[in-house]
Amino acid sequence: MKILFYDTKSYDKESFDAALSRFPEIEIEYIKYDLDPRTASLAEGFDAVCAFVSSNVGEQTLEILHSKGVSLVLMRCAGFNNVDSAKATELGIRIMRVPNYSPEAVAEHAMALALACNRRLYKAYNKVRENDFSLAGLMGFNFHGKTAGIIGTGKIGAAMCRICNGFGMKVLAYDMYQNPDLKDFVTYVSLDEVLSGSNLISLHCPLTDDTYHLINIETIKKMMDGVILVNTSRGALVKTDDLIEGIRMHKFAGVGLDVYEEETKNVFEDRSDEILEHSTTARLLSFPNVMITSHQGFFTREAMEAIAETTLENALTYAAGKESKNDVK
């Protein structure tokens, strides 16, 4: 099977090349361009393409891929909100993803963001580099004995629940489907109760029509003053303009974001200075209590190995004509 690998970074090639030794049936060609209607025609002669969460796998892209003989799109990620799955089904193109590749990696990063915001680590680091060892402006609060509100308790959210429990926090959760593995230390409540009763709120739910802009000015007003908000899930769960308004209202002790609405591609890549200057992400960076990272929550050795392994296993499952729980429908 020949696979065209879009939007290749050095770490992608390294992890997939390492895994390929166990998959002699598969041949990969790597290119730096991301998948969209302009680049889809490059897949002529390939059986499958490999794309990322930022790729455009919409109707036009799929039609071009179909015309070039591509019958499989391998998403090397869990998210697929940029995939037109109905059109793919119509064209007979199978979409497969990597639903679980290291939930602990993302959950640990979420807690790292929460701790960095709470203890002002970025400010402390910069002060010390300037030979200022004063403690002014660095006071945080104990997580022990406080309440964590986890929105979404799938594998990543469940891992975050366990981390918060380990910190000695009371854990509230909101999810349409309760996770029975968490029953001993997590209390499921309504969304309003999570918002109003939590010192730390961490988002771990998928982006759907129901969760789009879940965090908006109305839900922000329901939060307690001095809350820490963390989002390592999907950028559009948060309405950025409303978040900025909430920050200006002094609602938040800190905000930690690994994802953001403008993340079709990393907002700092391939953007002019003028566009970046006026982006909402850049506006967020102007606030001293906001910490933003570049969608690195998944980025551990273990996660990259799991992504490569599962993606290539998906390719073999397709080649064998077998069904899979990793299919996007």
For 68-77, write each residue's pLDDT tens digit. Answer: 999 999 999 9
Angle (CA) 271 277 283, round 5° = 120
Phi, psi for residue 174 in degrees, rounded to 5: -125, 130
Q: Which of 261, 262, 263, 309 is catalytic?
A: 263
pLDDT at 275 over 60: no
* Rounded distance between C-alpha atoms, residue 5 and residue 306, angstroms: 17
pLDDT at residue number 31: 98
pLDDT at residue number 279: 78
Angle (CA) 102 104 106, round 5° = 85
pLDDT at 265 over 50: no
User: 120 or 81: which carries more pLDDT confidence?
Assistant: 120
Q: Which of 94, 262, 295, 309 is catalytic?
A: 295
Sheet holding 170-174, edge to edge: 186-188, 170-174, 147-151, 200-203, 227-231, 252-257, 290-292
296 band by pLDDT with thresholds 50, 70 and 90: very high
Residues 104-127 have pLDDT tens digits of 999 999 999 999 999 999 999 999
pLDDT at residue number 100: 85
pTM for the structure as a whole: 0.88
pLDDT at residue number 264: 52
If DSSP codes are grouped into helix, strand and coil, which group holds residue 286? coil
pLDDT at residue number 263: 66
Segment among 161-175, 183-197, 257-271 with least mean pLDDT: 257-271
pLDDT at 268 over 60: no
Q: Is 109 one of the annotated active-site residues of the chain?
A: no
Q: Which of 94, 97, 120, 234 is catalytic?
A: 234
Single-letter code of the amino acid located at 21 = S
pLDDT at residue number 81: 84
Q: Is 204 one of the annotated active-site residues of the chain?
A: no
195 band by pLDDT with thresholds 50, 70 and 90: very high
36 band by pLDDT with thresholds 50, 70 and 90: very high
**What integer best gives the mean pLDDT of the chain?**
94
For residue 286, CA distances in Å to 35, 82, 258, 291 come to 32, 29, 16, 10
Share of the chain above pLDDT 70, in %: 95
Segment among 82-86, 211-215, 274-278, 293-297 with least mean pLDDT: 274-278
Q: Is 278 one of the annotated active-site residues of the chain?
A: no
